[in-house]
Amino acid sequence: MKNMNLKIFLFVLISVLLFACHDDFLPKPKGYFRIDLPEKVYRNYEAKCPLTFDTPEYSSIELFENKMSSDSCWFNIYFKKFNARLHCTYMPVRGDFDALVRDAYGFAISHEMKASALKRTGIQDTERKVYGMIYDIEGEAASQLQFFVTDSTHHFFRGSLYFYNSPNPDSIAPVLQFLKADVVRLVNTMEWR
């Protein structure tokens, strides 16, 4: 009898717990972590190569001393908080302007296989002699943002933004737009020396 009462008690308790607080159950939608974006504060960076531009305070410069020469240089702008790097290369123009532009375009379209779209935005500032192109690469490409700028006669500078995680376009979209504003600022403040 005692065993029977215990079974009935457990049955009633489980029934109450399962059905008494009955609300329609809806699964929670898939979500992403909230991203705290820092305030945009910039500083001017004078590169070892003949150019200057603004970089955000929340970034750092990674120099590749072994890839520096008297006229070209390689460096990254590292965004630690976002696990991203803007790979930057400066090269002088030495009669190879068409080849440099072709290479920059080739790097951008090499991501097109995984991309859903490739958008181009032209850059033309005759006062500062800065011309070029920004490539927005949509989809699951390894690099979603690339650019090049040049004065067409002496200087050529290109950059590619990479996130060091899975290229899930939905999850990186807010950070990509945030960092794109930094790339636009870099291009808009570019000065040749």
Q: Residue type at 36?
A: D
pTM for the model:
0.79
Summarised one tens digit per residue, pLDDT across range 68-79 is 666 779 999 999
Task: Look at residue 95 in the predicted model and tell me its pLDDT.
Answer: 93
The structural domains of the chain, with segments of one domain joined by +, span: 43-192
- Distance, C-alpha 154 to centroid of its chain: 28
Give pLDDT tens digits for 146-161: 999 999 999 999 999 9
Percent of the chain with pLDDT over 70: 83
pLDDT at 111: 67
User: Nearest Cα to 105, choosing from 135, 149, 145, 141?
Assistant: 135
| Contact (Cβ atoms closer than 8 angstroms) between residue 62 and residue 45 | no
Q: Express each pLDDT in 5-19 by its tens digit.
A: 777 777 776 766 666
Angle (CA) 143-144-149 rounded to 5° is 90
With a cut of 50, list the residues of the chain below it in pLDDT. none
What is 43-192's CATH number, 3.40.50.620, 3.40.50.300, 3.40.1000.10, 3.20.20.70? 3.40.1000.10
Are the C-beta atoms of residues 79 and 85 closer than 8 Å to each other? yes
For residue 135, the cross-strand partners are 120, 146
Predicted local confidence at residue 189, as pLDDT: 97
